[in-house]
Amino acid sequence: MSGELSPIDQAKFVAAKKAVEYVEDGMRVGLGTGSTAAWMVRCLGEMVREDGLRIKGVPTSTRTAALAQELGIDVVSLDEAKWLDLTIDGADEFDGELNLIKGGGGALLQEKIVATASDQMIVIADVGKEVESLGHFPLPIEVIPFGWQTTRALVEEMLVSMDVLGRDVTLRMSGDRPYVTDEGNHILDLHLGRIGNPRQLSMVLNQVPGVVENGLFIDICDIVCVGYGDGRVEVRDINDGTVRQDRLDFVESDNLFSDLSD
């Protein structure tokens, strides 16, 4: 596989491969959305097919649900599962306290609901996603379509009093139309540059009428598996304060990953 993957994809793969080691038979597992999470779903699919792993997967988007079903993972809704043992998902950014920005893939609402309904959340990411301060990646917020321009104006006004570098707010588009989430909402991307107080910003954003949820995940992530292009993976556990290093070997195979393109 090493000859087939770019260094960034190798990093995503080893992070995903390490994270699925936490999955045990009989677990109810939240399945994240995005390019890195797709590697994780593929790894779980391989375990289901080759090792007989039995899990209930709760997807965070329609595209994750489709991929999981294709790979033979038993997919159920969160209402059916009620509570999850573990959620594994990617992140657009993470800081030293394992606070996250998520939502680049447009699924932040379902992702946050699923993550907070879990005993544990593991984030998988390549090393390029680590930042000293959150905010370089645009912060997504999900808003209802009704009056979204008024909501944007209220958010821009609120940002004046926040500890951020920029205050540009744009409507996410899909071609020539506004992007629509699985819940039928729109997404505003906040180009902030740096977020000085993510906890405060998260709380204030959710008080703005029309805002459904924001992409700041504060005190939700427990473990991050950081992948490197040479096969190294670093596991950081915020609860026990440990950092562990490992290295995963690549093998040539025509398995479930052969047709995956990020």
Q: Which residues are catalytic?
A: 111
Q: Is 103 annotated as a binding residue?
A: yes
Contact partners, residue 219, CB within 8 Å, separation at least 6: 99
Name the DSSP class of 60.
Answer: S
Torsion of CA 38, 43, 45, 51, to 10 degrees: -170
Residue 25 labelled as part of a binding site:
no
Question: Is 102 annotated as contributing to ligand binding?
Answer: yes
Is 33 annotated to bind a ligand? Reply is yes
The reply, when asked if residue 210 is annotated as ligand binding, is: no
What does the alpha-carbon distance between residue 90 and residue 35 come to, in Å, rounded to a whole number?
8
Is 35 assigned a ligand-binding role in the annotation?
A: yes
CA distance 197 to 118: 25
Q: Which residues have C-beta within 8 Å of that of residue 74, sequence separation ≥ 6? A: 54, 55, 56, 57
What one-letter code names the amino acid at 155?
Answer: V
Taking residue 120's Cβ as centre, other Cβ atoms within 10 Å add up to 16
Tokens of 172: 């996410």
The alpha-helical segments, DSSP class H, found in the chain are 7-19, 35-51, 62-70, 78-81, 108-116, 148-159, 198-205
Closest CA to 17 of 34, 42, 53, 35: 42
Residue 34 labelled as part of a binding site: yes
193 belongs to an annotated ligand binding site:
no
Find out whether 166 is annotated in a ligand binding site.
Answer: no
Establish whether 181 is an annotated binding residue: no
150 assigned ligand-binding residue: no
Binding-site residues sit at 33-36, 89-92, 102-105, 129
Binding-site residues for substrate sit at 33-36, 89-92, 102-105, 129
